[in-house]
Structure 1
Amino acid sequence: MSPDLSRKRRRSISVRAKMLVVLVPLLLLIGVLLAYATEQAGRIHRDLARLTEEEHEAEQTQSLLVELRGAEAWAKRSIGSEPRAAIQDDLQQHLSLARQVLTDLHHPEEDDPSDPGHEQREHELRDSLLETLDRISQRVGDVADWSVFATDLGDARRRVEVLATETRHEATRVASHLDASVQRLVDMLFLLAAAGIATLVSMSWMFRRVVMHPLLTIEAATQSLGRVTPAMDSTAVPERPAARVPILSRDEFGQLAATFNDMAERIDSDRRELEQRVEQRTREVIRTARLAELGTLAAGIAHEINNPLASIAAGIEGLQRDLDGSASESSKEFLELVLEETNRARDIATRLLRLGRHDTLRREPVFLAHEVHDVAKMVGHLAKQRRVEVVVDVDEDLPPLTSDPGEWRQVLFNLLRNAIDATPEGTQVLVSAALENGRVVVRVRDHGPGFDDDDLDRVFEPFFTKKAPNQGTGLGLAIVDRIVREFGGEVDARNCATGGELRVSVPVPE
């Protein structure tokens, strides 16, 4: 992993972190709202208990008022008359029921949810009333005139009426507080619902933006990558791949997009390389087929015309001997021209035979450095005529190649002759041989104009030549290409700083 990629990954923000950035505040808000709603629910529960207690106390207070009013009424009726037993029994019954109500109002075994001040006043009033009722009950049989109790009972009744009024006010206050608590709880529930909806919407938006959008983009790019149709014409290959994923984030999907783009780049590069190889192999197949067809045709033609040409050459040489000394200068020049052109025709026929022949090559050790020096000497006379210097720069320790020495001399001769023909006077032709990556590479460089870009793939086709008429047949490099391929090697043409370069590469035998 490169340092730049490592730093990018350290600075990246993960999908989980992005989700947490959005969800944590919302979850905290929901938590606060839930806590507040729970508190409001507790308040409602307490208010309900207080309201129930106050309503119960209000009922008890009303019952107490009924009994006290009854007792007060009997006490007032006894004023100015003799007490009767029925009145005494009825008065005692009212006092007993009032005492029972006061006892029910007091429940120390239970927690009273009422307001502490209100509860304190209830206790004080209860104790005072119980004391008053007990005193009256004890003196009912001893006092002849019960009118003395009317004042105490009236005072007790008024205090109970005050308590009843306060109890109603307390119940009203508790009910109002309960309504407010319920309203706050409803508000909290609405806020919780809104927060829940906001959370769902945020999660949906975040999921779509952070997860679905990158995935859909990668899916579209993948489909686009799969729809790319390889073009057989290398000029139609796009400069950049068609499928690319925009890197919109630094999270895992951003890294996935970068990885996808790298993969698409490699696929596109491999595709273009494959197209070029297919195109190259197609041209080679076409060229091989043409070579085979031309070679077969040329070999047949050359075989048929070689013998007549040999007879013509022999006849001309005989005429030259017979007319030696007696022929005019013009006749001699004419015979020399005919003989030269006849030999040229025989040379072309020989080349055609060589192109179409598929003899089994000899397999013996070939020391390429030695062959290069020998062929350089062979073309030395031609180089001197053209005033061109042949410079040899070979590694003398090259490993031997298992092939046909004669074929190698033919290859080197054709390469050097082609370079000498292309090199202007007063310049050099450089032939070099070296070991490169397990292959022996031979380079022949000239100081000519080089190759046109459109001709680089055609220079090895039969009969292709840029030389002037009657100065080349276009068969030399075609023969080189066929021989080198029989060796399992490759030959190509390219331009260099000085001019043109022909390069032969063959594997070193194991």
Structure 2
Amino acid sequence: MRSPALSLGRRFAGLVAVLVAVPAVVQVAVFMHVAALNEDADRLVEETRESALASRLVVRIESLASFLESGEAARTDAQLLRIAASQLEQSRRAIESLSFESDEEDPSREEHQLAEERLSVAIEAGLDAVETWLSGTPGVELAEVEALLERGLRHASVLANETYEESQHAGADVERRARAMFGYTLSALIVVLLVSVAVSLLVRRLVLRPIRELQSGAERLRGGHLDHRIAIRNRDEIGALAGAFNDMADEIGKSHAELERKIEARTLELVRAARLADVGVLAAGVAHEINNPLASIASCGEGLLRKMDRGSAEPEEAREYLGTIVSEAYRTRDITRRLLDLARPAPSTSAAIDAAPLFEQVRALTHHLLEQRRMRIEIDVEPSLGSVEGDAGELLQVLLNLVINARDAGSDGGIVRVRARTDGDAQVWEVEDDGEGIADGDLERIFDPFFTTKAPGVGTGLGLSLAAAIVDRHGGSISAGRGPHGGALLTIRFADAARQSEVTP
């Protein structure tokens, strides 16, 4: 078998790589955005701190400027000097605090840091001039000190405004970064969701659907659809499995066709053998049944010829011989007629027949036959028996054959019981004698042609076979068993024509 062009292992490896790569990329991007956001937050904190320090520095320089407005008298007032020295010290500390307090790199922008250094130098120059004037150093003019301090105040105001604007800029950067991070994270989640949906659809298309098709194909193959094949959609392991399944189905189909051919051939052989066996049975039965009357005819003919040759044939004796020959010839004709009726049934006329009158006809036709053995017939017909579909003459022949068979099997002075009743949508006819019944070993053969338990020459063994054939032509069934009185019980079931018409629309 040729190896798949793109195996499931490779495809799943690609899917796993996508599932791993997408979250990894998302994680790296989120990490970078978090780092940038953290840097912007540090810058916002630093700029806010510097803005507060610059604002306080402006207030203290303004306080020193107010002190200088008192002129030379300010240097003689000890309390004012202490206040001025305190303001001066706090101003210097504020300038020192403007530098980044941590050992790490200042998060502020480089141009902002340069501007801070430049303005701090100018501010410190004014503070130095004030400190020199306060110390009483000769040659330092108050006007010059005021000018330097005024310049330092302007630079402090610029510094305060710049740090405020920088803090606002840093806050805007943090907000912008947060919005960007939210949007990127949402986009990444959407991408991950789309990738997951795509992966699930691919798995469904590449794995689940082909497996379901294989399952459906196996079920159809098990159900006998040997011509069913599975479409090979992909050149992977499942495609190879589908190809193997189709090859297996081809082999099964060929084996099944070969098996059917062999079964058909064997069936024909068995049918031929059965036909030969039936012909053998039929030939043996015909030979047995016809040989008896033929032997009687030959015997009587030879005896009559001998007497006629000797001239000793009396008319009465000759009449007796000829009567026997005629009787046996008629018996031979009756046997052949029954065989023809059994083998080639004449077409019958089918109609809805009221069943109850058939039993009264049977009573009338068999009355004298039963009286010969001092027997009587009991007929019990349900009043609401209804009708059956069929030929009245053939159905009457069935009842006559069963009653005559019961007469022959019963005992002298006995009773033949005939019953007819309804059972759901069917009619049940029963004929029972009071004889010894049918042996268990004979039940399976009781309806076979030429099978009889009567003495030789008494019956032909065709009565029950003919009755079974007629019942079968009428769509009914016949069975034999032991009746409640110990004798044989023959049961016939027919569909009730009236009830069938009520059920069938």
TM-score relative to the length of structure 2: 0.51
For 2:76, what is the secondary structure of its paired residue? coil
- Which residue does 2:277 correspond to in 1? 292
- Following the alignment from structure 1 to structure 2, what is the Cα–Cα distance between the partners of residues 71 and 249? 89
- Which string of whole-angstrom CA distances, capped at 9 and with x for unpartnered residues, describes residues 426-463 of structure 1? xxxxxxxxxxxxxxxxxxxxxxxxxxxxxxxxxxxxxx
- Which residue does 1:246 correspond to in 2? 231
Contact 1:14 1:252 in 2 (8 A): yes
- Which string of whole-angstrom CA distances, capped at 9 and with x for unpartnered residues, describes residues 263-316 of structure 1? 11222222333333333444444443443343355467679999x99xx9xxxx
- Following the alignment from structure 1 to structure 2, what is the Cα–Cα distance between the partners of residues 286 and 93? 134
Deviation, 1:255, is: 0.8
- Which string of whole-angstrom CA distances, capped at 9 and with x for unpartnered residues, describes residues 214-246 of structure 1? 1111121112112227xxxxxxxxxxx332111
- Which residue does 1:140 correspond to in 2? 134
Q: 2:183 aligns with which of 181, 187, 197?
A: 187
Deviation, 1:213, is: 1.3
After the TM superposition, which parts of structure 1 deviate over 6 Å for at least 4 consecutive aligned residues? 300-306
- Which string of whole-angstrom CA distances, capped at 9 and with x for unpartnered residues, describes residues 374-426 of structure 1? xxxxxxxxxxxxxxxxxxxxxxxxxxxxxxxxxxxxxxxxxxxxxxxxxxxxx
Contact 1:245 1:261 in 2 (8 A): yes
Alignment of 1:48-447 (within 5 A): 48-78=41-71, 83-106=76-99, 107=101, 109-130=103-124, 132-142=126-136, 149-228=145-224, 241-298=226-283
Contact 1:67 1:95 in 2 (8 A): yes
TM-score relative to the length of structure 1: 0.50
Structure of greater Rg: 2
For 2:69, what is the secondary structure of its paired residue? helix
Contact 2:47 2:164 in 1 (8 A): yes
Paired amino acid for 2:82: D
Paired amino acid for 1:90: I
Distance change >3 Å, CA 110–CA 23, structure 1 → 2: closer
RMSD: 3.4
Distance change >3 Å, CA 32–CA 109, structure 1 → 2: closer
Deviation, 1:50, is: 0.8
Contact 1:15 1:252 in 2 (8 A): yes
Paired amino acid for 1:212: L
- Which string of whole-angstrom CA distances, capped at 9 and with x for unpartnered residues, describes residues 44-92 of structure 1? 1111111111011001111111111111111213456673111111111
Deviation, 1:131, is: 5.1
Contact 1:26 1:195 in 2 (8 A): no
Q: 2:32 aligns with which of 31, 34, 39?
A: 39
Gaps of 5+ in 2: 299-505
Deviation, 1:261, is: 0.8
Deviation, 1:127, is: 4.4
- Following the alignment from structure 1 to structure 2, what is the Cα–Cα distance between the partners of residues 297 and 108? 125
- Which string of whole-angstrom CA distances, capped at 9 and with x for unpartnered residues, describes residues 18-67 of structure 1? 45667767865665554444323222111111111101100111111111
- Following the alignment from structure 2 to structure 1, what is the Cα–Cα distance between the partners of residues 81 and 245? 107
Aligned residues: 292
- Following the alignment from structure 2 to structure 1, what is the Cα–Cα distance between the partners of residues 158 and 12? 63
Contact 2:129 2:148 in 1 (8 A): no
- Following the alignment from structure 2 to structure 1, what is the Cα–Cα distance between the partners of residues 214 and 103? 73
Moved more, 249-258 or 104-113: 104-113
Contact 2:67 2:74 in 1 (8 A): no
Contact 1:222 1:243 in 2 (8 A): no
Deviation, 1:134, is: 4.4
Deviation, 1:185, is: 1.8
Alignment of 1:451-462 (within 5 A): none
Determine what percentage of the aligned residue pairs are the same residue. Answer: 26
- Following the alignment from structure 1 to structure 2, what is the Cα–Cα distance between the partners of residues 228 and 210? 28
- Following the alignment from structure 1 to structure 2, what is the Cα–Cα distance between the partners of residues 131 and 103? 14
Deviation, 1:105, is: 2.0
Paired amino acid for 2:239: G
- Following the alignment from structure 2 to structure 1, what is the Cα–Cα distance between the partners of residues 91 and 186? 49
- Following the alignment from structure 1 to structure 2, what is the Cα–Cα distance between the partners of residues 96 and 38? 44
Deviation, 1:103, is: 2.3
- Following the alignment from structure 1 to structure 2, what is the Cα–Cα distance between the partners of residues 100 and 84? 24
- Following the alignment from structure 2 to structure 1, what is the Cα–Cα distance between the partners of residues 46 and 75? 43
Paired amino acid for 2:79: A
Paired amino acid for 1:269: K
Gaps of 5+ in 1: 230-240, 313-510
Paired amino acid for 2:279: L
